Structure 1
Amino acid sequence: MGTKLMQDRLHTAIQMREAGQAQEARTLLLELLALYPNDAELNYQTAWVHDNLGLERESVPFYLCAINLGLSKDSLQGALLGLGSTYRALGEYTKAEQMLRRGMQEFPQDRAFPIFLAMALHNLQRHAEAMQLLLTNLAETTAEPSILRYKKALLFYAPQLDKTWANDEKE
């Protein structure tokens, strides 16, 4: 990021967004972006504020620019999830899947990626795969005792939801 003044203004815009003043933050971020169009973090924050305002389609180019320019690890994590979620919200399910799988590969510890991917897979009519992701993540992360009792069963059944173990023999 460039100057100290730009960093201060960016920090102000982030605080505004976090305080629910997304429109004001958007105005400030777009002013900064006009001066520093190749700043990855600035593009990312601009994408984020557009998403907050329900301007998903407008956020996409900012996300793509930020990712292509190179972000810090934490910001890249947020940008991949944000863009994947945005693609899903726009009905671009294949792009959503690609972005969220990239996020899962680069940030395997982040449980938000498979959850958002499950939603995209649902939209792609790949329900068994979506359920497997949800059940696996639920079983591996819950603290709910009534679910934990069945963790082993959930993890066993998750990848094979359509299989049955009936002893019925066909004649």
Structure 2
Amino acid sequence: MEQHWRDRVEHVWDRTSELSDAEVLAAIDALVAERPDDDAEALFEAASGRDYAGLEAEAAPLYREALEAGLDEPFRTRALIQLGSTLRNLSDYDASLEVLDGVDDGHPLAPAAAAFRALTLRDAGRPDDALAAALTALAPTLPEFGGAVARYARELS
């Protein structure tokens, strides 16, 4: 049952290029309605649907509810990143940074969190800190010059 529901959710997300934003949201909401009101995964999908449709103000509290309801991986870190991005879009930069800082540096999605952190810092009027965040995330991936890039990043912030 659980996997069948997840497969149906993924099917909706796979078809976004064929559907309008309203159709995506309606399809996600129909699937969410099949689950209990406090189901963490369903809350996450409801938030994601609203986020996708540009309804960030509706998405943010649903992301928080999903996390408070005990959302597990592989969705927990995605929810943190998506919430951080949503809060940035809502111009709540301090909250965005706080959420994004909650992503474990060792998680495979940590570079995405770093990217959204850099975007948040830039939008908050802190371009040097944004560049430092981006360079700090990039430095470990450089086979050469990583140390130099990391040092320059520290000088910016």
TM-score between both structures, scaled by the size of structure 2: 0.82
Structure 2 counterpart of 1:91, which letter? S
Q: Percent identity?
A: 29
Task: Provide structure 2 residue ranges, at least 5 long, that are not aligned to the other structure.
Answer: none
For the residues of structure 1 that align with 2:104 and 2:126, how far apart are their CA atoms? 18
Which residue of structure 1 aligns with residue 138 of structure 2?
138
Aligned counterpart, 1:152: 147
Q: RMSD between aligned alpha carbons?
A: 2.5
- Residue identity opposite 1:151 in structure 2: G
- Contact conserved, 1:13 with 1:25, CA < 8 A, in 2? no
Rounded to whole Å, the distance in 1 between the matches of 2:75 and 2:68 is 12
Larger Rg: 1
Q: In the TM superposition, what is the alpha-carbon distance from 1:109 to its structure 2 partner?
A: 6.5
Equivalent residue number for residue 82 of structure 1: 82
Kindly provide the amino acid, as one letter, of the partner of residue 161 in structure 1: L
CA deviation vs aligned residue, 1:7-48 (integer Å, no higher than 9, x gap): 634532331122113533422332344452111001101111
> Aligned pair in 2 of structure 1 residues 28, 7: CA closer, same or farther (>3 Å)?
farther
1:96 aligns with 2:92: no
Residues 35-114 of structure 1 correspond to what in structure 2 (within 5 A)?
A: 35=34, 36-104=36-104, 107=107, 110-114=110-114
Unaligned runs of 5+ in 1: 143-147, 163-171
8 Å contact from structure 1 (residues 129, 159) kept in 2: no
Number of aligned residue pairs: 153
Cα 1:41/1:106, change in 2 over 3 Å:
farther
Deviations along 1:78-128, one digit per CA (max 9) or x if unpaired, are 000000000001111111111111124684862111221111122233333
